[in-house]
Chain A
Amino acid sequence: DQQVKQNSPSLSVQEGRISILNCDYTNSMFDYFLWYKKYPAEGPTFLISISSIKDKNEDGRFTVFLNKSAKHLSLHIVPSQPGDSAVYFCAANQAGTALIFGKGTTLSVSS
């Protein structure tokens, strides 16, 4: 049973527009959520995180929103740039435990 789900395998966006990547989870015990960016044949790079006591966290062009009642989080990238093209993984965990990853969404930003 997948505890972290990224239902969109791919997303295409034009440069300068907003990219919205979505993630759903089933485990209500999760209290920490992260987004990672990954290029082929490289390890994931940490982007941004949010704890369950917040509903929004912003860092530059990246904003993560958390809706605990819907068990849903999203990553907004504004404005999108061609260099943002990569696979984005949503991850979650309960304090002290290993991260559980979604299957990833491939973002393609065209210029």
Chain B
Amino acid sequence: GAVVSQHPSRVICKSGTSVKIECRSLDFQATTMFWYRQFPKQSLMLMATSNEGSKATYEQGVEKDKFLINHASLTLSTLTVTSAHPEDSSFYICSARAFGADTQYFGPGTRLTVL
């Protein structure tokens, strides 16, 4: 149990375009989902927390207009990187947590490369 999927696993796009990443909890209802970013050989940096049906809470320094997060259902959250630039190239990972639970389960990650 506790499987989280992400799609796509890898995406290459041109500078200035927008990219959408999906995160799904496959066998549980995720009242809260988290989006992380990881640079090479660095820790996971929390970008934002989203609760189903409400606006995401962004960490300091993360532009909410650039990284649009939607958590419209208990099994799906999306991260849209708008007007992507090469510096947005990174490994994006989502995680999901069920209501009242402490453990977060992570998706496999999405490698974004912006040319």
Shortest distance in angstroms between B112's beta carbon and chain A's nearest beta carbon? 12
How many angstroms from the CA of A100 to the CA of B46 in the assembled complex? 8
How many angstroms from the CA of A104 to the CA of B111 in the assembled complex? 20
Shortest distance in angstroms between B66's beta carbon and chain A's nearest beta carbon? 20
| Interface size grouping (class) on chain B | 20 to 34
Nearest B residue to A99 via CB reads B104
A77-111 vs B, Cβ < 8 Å mask (1 yes, 0 no): 00000000000010001010011111110000000
A43 near B106: Cβ-Cβ < 8 Å? yes
| CB of B8 closer than 8 Å to a CB of A | no
Interface window among A11-19, A44-52, A59-67:
A44-52
The listed residue (B42, B44, B102) touching A93 by CB distance below 8 A is: B102
A41 near B111: Cβ-Cβ < 8 Å? yes
| Interface size grouping (class) on chain A | 20 to 34
A36 near B106: Cβ-Cβ < 8 Å? yes
The listed residue (B4, B6, B43) touching A101 by CB distance below 8 A is: B43
B91 near A41: Cβ-Cβ < 8 Å? yes
Note all chain A residues with C-beta closer than 8 A to B6: 43
Note all chain B residues with C-beta closer than 8 A to A45: 106
The listed residue (B42, B43, B102, B108) touching A43 by CB distance below 8 A is: B108
| CB of A42 closer than 8 Å to a CB of B | yes
Using A41-B91, A41-B109, A98-B49 as known contacts, say yes or no to A89 and B44 having CB atoms under 8 A apart.
Answer: yes
Q: Which residues of A15-47 are within 8 A (CB) of B?
A: 32, 34, 36, 41-46
Nearest B residue to A9 via CB reads B41
Using A49-B102, A93-B102, A98-B34 as known contacts, say yes or no to A42 and B108 having CB atoms under 8 A apart.
Answer: yes
B80-99 vs A, Cβ < 8 Å mask (1 yes, 0 no): 00000000000101010000
Using a CB–CB cutoff of 8 Å, the interface residues on chain A facing chain B are 32, 34, 36, 41-46, 49, 51, 89, 93, 95, 98-104
20 A–B contacts from the bound complex (CB under 8 Å): A32-B102, A41-B109, A42-B108, A42-B109, A43-B4, A43-B95, A43-B106, A43-B107, A43-B109, A44-B93, A44-B106, A46-B103, A46-B104, A51-B102, A89-B43, A89-B44, A98-B46, A98-B49, A99-B46, A99-B95
